Amino acid sequence: MTAFMYEKDLSAMKYAILTSTRHDRMIREIAAELDIPQIRLRKLMMDRFDMMLLENLPARYDQGKNSRKTENPVEKDLGAGLYTRAIPLISSSEMGKITEQVQTLIREGTSEHEAVVAGRKMIRGVILQ
Amino acid sequence: MKRTVDVSVPIGPIHPCFKEPARVKCETKGEFVISAEVELGYMKKGIERIMRGRPWQEVMFLAERVCGICSVIHNMVFIEALEQMSTIAVPERAALLRVIVNELDRMQSHILANFSYCYTIEHETLAMYLLDVREHVMDELERITGARVTCAYIVPGGVRFDLRSEDVLHLRANLAVIEEEVTRYMHMFEGGPLIALRSREIGVLSRGAALEAHAVGPTARASGMPETDRRIHHPTYKKLGFSPVSRTEGDNYARIMVRFQEVLESISIIRKCLDTLPEGPIRGGGIPGAGEIAYSGEAPRGELSYFIKTDAAGRVVDISIQTPSIMNIEACCHYMLKGVSSLADVPSTFVSADPCIACTER
């Protein structure tokens, strides 16, 4: 068996980070927007993000929400910058594809609200893969 | 034939150049760093948990124990948050005394950070010079507040001790010495060819990356973000006509130079305070009550935020502290260290961001 010396399981510490007041507030907001169970979102973040990124998530989330104001309407509603750059839950290329699909739906006559709801469903699908 | 292998090199948790334990795990290809990750958990205090449920009189002492290097600003932000929440006024003399002590604290923190960097790039002579000049600043802090660290100088509605006329004389004389010495060391750093080899264009943080990671303090200001300085929003600093220092290179060299420039800036702020210091009381009184607030101040390492909720008795019901090192270490491991061409530059790049692990883990 090969393993790193001193390598330890960080799950407990990562969970402690994610349950602090500000992290908890952020998780609740993201989970509500993307319709993902909070516990699932926490697990996803623990698996994909390192400790420093987890610690910095609330600051990045606030920064992402601020820069959301300058995006075009569809990207703003989908949280294109927020979920790719600030909270990297999904890759830029995948988000680009979803944004394009949503814009196509709007061009074909689907209402903007319905298209964005469909887009969020696609984002959820990619994140939960 | 030479073979290039991908390896994972852990640096730390105990490293002679790190002030505190942290483990930097680097994925490398030869000497080239592909990615880096910082692992925490070696000095968790659980201080936010300890603060909850305690009266503000106890929490104000706990707040400055979050960090031993920048204890004054933790004290100041916590107290100013309580004052904002309960609309407690501060006499003008006390407000200026707070700025003096805060700037002295910033000076010693910046000098210590630059000492640490010079020591890491093995310029021990300059490092020791800096450590020596820091003692002048520590002496002044001790003279004014009665302690070198954890001074508990700032209290709701004012400050604990007044500045005597003989202290003003000492402070002015010491500031002249510090200014002369720091200017000399800054020029040594600026013109050193070997320093440039280890510092220029190494660990570059672009403005875009700094924005994305929400980098703050000298780390952000070295990447052309002067707007991140919280002092421009502070009423006392506004009155003093404060303007932040910034550079655009974004490398290790720029981060150290920003700190040197900020030390000189702090000296001029303190002189302005001394010139305009009015006579009058140093305590206005007032007791913090119930409320909820998010309040930020500029710590030596950048924006320090306190999120506080208190009850009618002044007990802290909930508290969350966002320290600048959280953002800066994240920016360091995910942007600055990525692409560093030599493993030898990893500790120096890490130290150039002035990481405070005590603040990060709290």
CATH code where residue A85 lies: 1.10.3070
Whether residues A52 and B333 touch (CB distance < 8 A) is answered with yes
Give the position of tokens 């730390």.
Answer: B12
Can you tell me whether residue B120 is helix, strand or coil? Answer: helix
Q: Report the pLDDT averaged over residues B261-275.
A: 93
- Determine the distance in angstroms separating the CA of A58 from the nearest CA of chain B, rounded to an integer: 9
Whether residues B212 and A60 touch (CB distance < 8 A) is answered with yes
Of B8, B39, B214, which has the smallest distance from its Cβ to A51's Cβ? B39
- Determine the distance in angstroms separating the CA of B120 from the nearest CA of chain A, rounded to an integer: 23
For helices B92-120 and B345-352, angle between their N-to-C axes, nearest 10 degrees: 180
| pLDDT score of A6 | 57
Compare B270 and B29 and report the one with higher pLDDT. B270
Chain B hits for A10, CB-CB cut-off 8 Å, are 39, 41
Size of interface A-B (CB pairs under 8 A): 61
Cα–Cα dist A119/A113, whole Å: 10
B208 and chain A: CB distance < 8 Å anywhere? Answer: no
Whether residues B320 and A22 touch (CB distance < 8 A) is answered with yes
| pLDDT score of B195 | 82
List helix spans (H) across chain A.
11-18, 21-34, 38-48, 51-68, 73-78, 80-81, 92-107, 112-128
Chain B hits for A63, CB-CB cut-off 8 Å, are 211-212, 214
Of B37, B319, B360, which has the smallest distance from its Cβ to A55's Cβ? B360
- Would residue A5 count as lying in a domain? no
| Helices H / strands E in chain A, number of each | 8, 0
Dump pLDDT digits (tens) for B62-101: 998 888 888 899 999 999 999 998 888 889 999 999 999 9
Dump pLDDT digits (tens) for B290-343: 888 989 999 999 999 999 999 888 899 989 898 999 889 989 988 888 888 888
Best mutation target, A52, A57, A70, to test chain B (most B CBs within 10 A): A52
Nearest CA among B240, B340, B354, B346 for reference residue B15:
B346
Nearest CA in chain B to A25: B320
Predicted complex ipTM = 0.77
Supply the range of the domain harboring residue A21: 11-128
Q: Are B56 and B288 in contact (CB under 8 A)?
A: yes
B135 and chain A: CB distance < 8 Å anywhere? Answer: no
Instruction: Say yes or no to pLDDT of B264 above 80.
Output: yes
Instruction: Say yes or no to pLDDT of B4 above 70.
Output: no
Best mutation target, A55, A68, A87, to test chain B (most B CBs within 10 A): A55
- Would residue A6 count as lying in a domain? no
Dihedral angle at the C-alpha atoms of B93, B173, B102, B277, nearest 10 degrees? 10
Q: Cis link prior to B13 (omega < 30° from 0)?
A: yes
Compare B221 and B195 and report the one with higher pLDDT. B221
- Determine the distance in angstroms separating the CA of B3 from the nearest CA of chain A, rounded to an integer: 22
Of A13, A50, A53, which has the smallest distance from its Cβ to B41's Cβ? A13
The topology (CATH level 3) of B46-326 is: Cytochrome-c3 Hydrogenase; chain B (1.10.645)
Total domains present in chain A? 1
